[in-house]
């Protein structure tokens, strides 16, 4: 009898403990976001018509903060691209001006950035290739999807298909603002974690003329990220390098995210000291301040001597490209135009294509590979291609148009090897490689 009572009491005690433990460990259901009246109307329809959008929003930081559909899409005064939608004045495109209602500092930083000016490529050599040489739809679906279109509103919530849909980073919106926050953060989750991942930048920063995504993947930075992505704490609200994560840097780490001494910036040029885009690389205005900001990021993982030596290597490579290839090639092209050996129309002569690829594709790869520590892009996709193009295509084609035009260039120390190596120089090279590969 006593044994039965004891067992019954033990069972009851265990049940009480299990119930108590279950109550302590059961996940707490997140409170439903408070949604405005107009927002509830949006959700009632769009949960059926566009359920994917609604689910993205439900998991977002916006939803947790009770920022609903109407909070973002409620039309601002002066926006010409709005329409009446079930009793509400709605903007289809949520532009940076709308986001600035809550994110003013971020918008100010972005509007002064090079990203915000990206649509200014219209009228450039790149744009002529897309619009004229290739054809308009190629530019609409190619160039402008990264650079941005000038969005044309046609009324009643509709836009010209030549300009929309478009998530280009420098998109010119009907309200006059530039860019789209969704280019990096994505609709409708507007995720910081997404913006911190390298693939996010890779939509535009890839390919033969600016392969930053491929270079990053090749670099030790990219290798570290892939191996340690579970340690990156990408959903952290602060995401300060060295505090919230330390496994690897992403594009965002170096170019915009916070350090213990720097706040986050949405002007991605704040830490770039060289421009690697044009024919000849130059240092930017206030380059010392910009470089110090980037070196502050580097110092979270690298010693001072390492950082200083990296920049010494970087600068010497940029100088080599400029002095050996870029400046001489430009001088030759300028001479050919001066002598009217080239027509004013771009890309109607073979040499213009050769020259364009020399600096716009191969030269950029060499420079960007160096800047981001991608050795294969510095060498085989970069300087090898530059040298091969320069010596076997560019110089012979220029000489064909104007004999003697390259004589001064080819007589410099950079190119004297083309005249032939001496017997002593050849023997020196042979001895070097004998010692290098001695078994």
How high is the pLDDT of residue 194?
95
Residue in the structure block whose two tokens are 């460990």? 25
Report residue 75's pLDDT band, with 50, 70 and 90 as the boundaries.
very high
How high is the pLDDT of residue 8?
53
Q: How far apart are CA 62 and CA 189, in angstroms?
A: 8
Q: How far apart are CA 216 and CA 255, in angstroms?
A: 13
Residue in the structure block whose two tokens are 């535009």? 204
How high is the pLDDT of residue 436?
77
Q: How far apart are CA 300 and CA 259, in angstroms?
A: 8
Q: Which residues pair with 381 in a beta bridge?
A: none
How high is the pLDDT of residue 124?
83
Identify the DSSP state of 242.
T
* Each residue's pLDDT tens digit, 322-357: 999 999 999 999 999 999 999 999 999 999 999 999
* 27-41 as b/e: b if 16+ CB within 10 A: eeeeeebebeebbeb
Q: Is the Cβ–Cβ distance between 250 and 225 less than 8 Å?
A: yes
How high is the pLDDT of residue 9?
54
How high is the pLDDT of residue 23?
45
3-state secondary structure at position 178: strand
Tabulate helix, strand, coil % of the chain (nearest 5): 55, 5, 40
pLDDT at 438 over 50: yes
pLDDT at 13 over 60: no
Q: State mean pLDDT over 210-221.
A: 98
Q: State mean pLDDT over 194-212.
A: 96
* Each residue's pLDDT tens digit, 131-184: 999 999 999 999 999 999 999 999 999 999 999 999 999 999 999 999 999 999
pLDDT at 1 over 50: no
How high is the pLDDT of residue 27?
52
* Each residue's pLDDT tens digit, 162-175: 999 999 999 999 99
Phi/psi for 47 (5° steps) reads: -65, -25
pLDDT at 359 over 70: yes
* Each residue's pLDDT tens digit, 285-315: 999 999 999 999 999 999 999 999 999 999 9
Average pLDDT, the chain: 92
Structure tokens, 429: 């090279």
Lowest mean pLDDT segment, chosen from 13-17, 54-58, 122-126:
13-17
Residue in the structure block whose two tokens are 């649509």? 119
How high is the pLDDT of residue 216?
98
Q: How far apart are CA 193 and CA 195, in angstroms?
A: 5
Asked if the bond preceding 165 is cis, omega within 30° of 0, the reply is yes
How high is the pLDDT of residue 29?
57
Q: How far apart are CA 259 and CA 297, in angstroms?
A: 7
3-state secondary structure at position 245: strand
Stronger pLDDT, 362 or 426, i.e. the higher one? 362
pLDDT at 2 over 50: no
Structure tokens, 38: 């107009």
* 330-339 long-range contacts, CB within 8 A, separation 24+: 330/279, 330/280, 331/409, 332/394, 332/395, 332/398, 332/405, 332/406, 332/409, 333/398, 335/402, 335/405, 336/398, 336/401, 336/402, 336/405, 339/402
Q: Where in the chain is the domain with CATH 1.20.850.10?
A: 192-405
How high is the pLDDT of residue 127?
85
Q: What percent of the chain has pLDDT over 70?
A: 92
* Each residue's pLDDT tens digit, 237-251: 999 999 999 999 999
pLDDT at 26 over 60: no
The CATH class of the 192-405 domain is: mainly alpha
Q: Is the Cβ–Cβ distance between 203 and 146 less than 8 Å?
A: yes
Q: Is the Cβ–Cβ distance between 377 and 369 less than 8 Å?
A: yes
Q: Is 332 exposed, middle or buried (0-12, 13-18, 19+ CB in 10 A)?
A: buried
Residue 283 makes CB contacts below 8 A (sequence gap 6+) with: 273, 274, 275
Packing angle of the helix pair 364-371, 304-320 (nearest 10 deg): 170
Chain centroid offset of residue 73 CA: 27
Secondary structure (DSSP) of 263-297: ---S-TTTT--EE-SSSS-EEPTTHHHHHHHHHHH
Structure tokens, 114: 């090079």
């Amino acid at each position: 009898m006593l044994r039965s009572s004891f067992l019954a009491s033990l069972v009851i005690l265990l049940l009480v403990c299990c119930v108590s433990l279950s109550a302590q460990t059961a996940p707490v259901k997140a409170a439903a976001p408070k949604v405005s009246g107009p927002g509830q109307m949006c959700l009632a329809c769009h949960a059926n018509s566009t359920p994917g959008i609604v689910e993205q929003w439900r998991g977002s930081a916006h939803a947790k903060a009770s920022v609903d559909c109407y909070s973002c899409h409620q039309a601002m005064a002066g926006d010409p691209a709005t329409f009446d939608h079930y009793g509400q004045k709605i903007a289809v495109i949520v532009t940076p001006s709308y986001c600035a209602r809550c994110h003013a500092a971020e918008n100010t930083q972005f509007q002064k950035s090079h990203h915000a000016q990206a649509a200014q490529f219209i009228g450039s050599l790149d744009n002529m290739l897309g619009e004229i040489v290739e054809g308009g739809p190629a530019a609409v679906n190619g160039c402008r999807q990264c650079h941005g279109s000038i969005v044309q509103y046609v009324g009643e919530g509709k836009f010209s298909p030549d300009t929309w849909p478009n998530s280009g980073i420098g998109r010119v919106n009907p309200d006059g603002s530039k860019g789209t926050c969704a280019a990096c953060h994505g609709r409708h989750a507007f995720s910081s974690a997404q913006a911190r991942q390298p693939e996010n930048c890779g939509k535009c920063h890839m390919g033969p003329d600016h392969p930053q995504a491929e270079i990053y993947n090749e670099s030790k930075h990219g290798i570290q990220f892939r191996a340690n992505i579970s340690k990156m704490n990408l959903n952290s609200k602060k995401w300060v390098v060295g505090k919230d994560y330390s496994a690897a840097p992403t594009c965002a780490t170096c170019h915009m995210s916070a350090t213990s001494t720097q706040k986050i910036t949405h002007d991605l040029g704040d830490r770039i000291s060289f421009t690697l885009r044009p024919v000849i690389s130059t240092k930017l205005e206030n380059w010392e301040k910009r470089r110090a900001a980037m070196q502050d990021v580097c110092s979270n993982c690298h010693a001072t001597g390492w950082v200083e030596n990296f920049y010494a290597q970087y600068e010497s490579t940029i100088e080599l490209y400029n002095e050996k290839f870029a400046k001489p090639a430009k001088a030759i092209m300028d001479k050919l135009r001066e002598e009217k050996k080239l027509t004013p129309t771009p890309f109607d002569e073979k040499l213009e294509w050769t020259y364009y690829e020399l600096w716009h594709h191969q030269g950029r790869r060499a420079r960007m590979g160096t800047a981001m520590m991608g050795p294969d892009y510095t060498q085989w996709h970069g300087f090898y291609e530059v040298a091969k193009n320069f010596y076997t295509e560019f110089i012979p084609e220029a000489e064909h148009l104007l004999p003697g035009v390259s004589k001064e260039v080819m007589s410099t120390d950079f190119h004297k090897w083309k005249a032939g190596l001496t017997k002593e120089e050849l023997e020196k090279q042979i001895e070097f490689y004998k010692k290098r590969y001695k078994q």
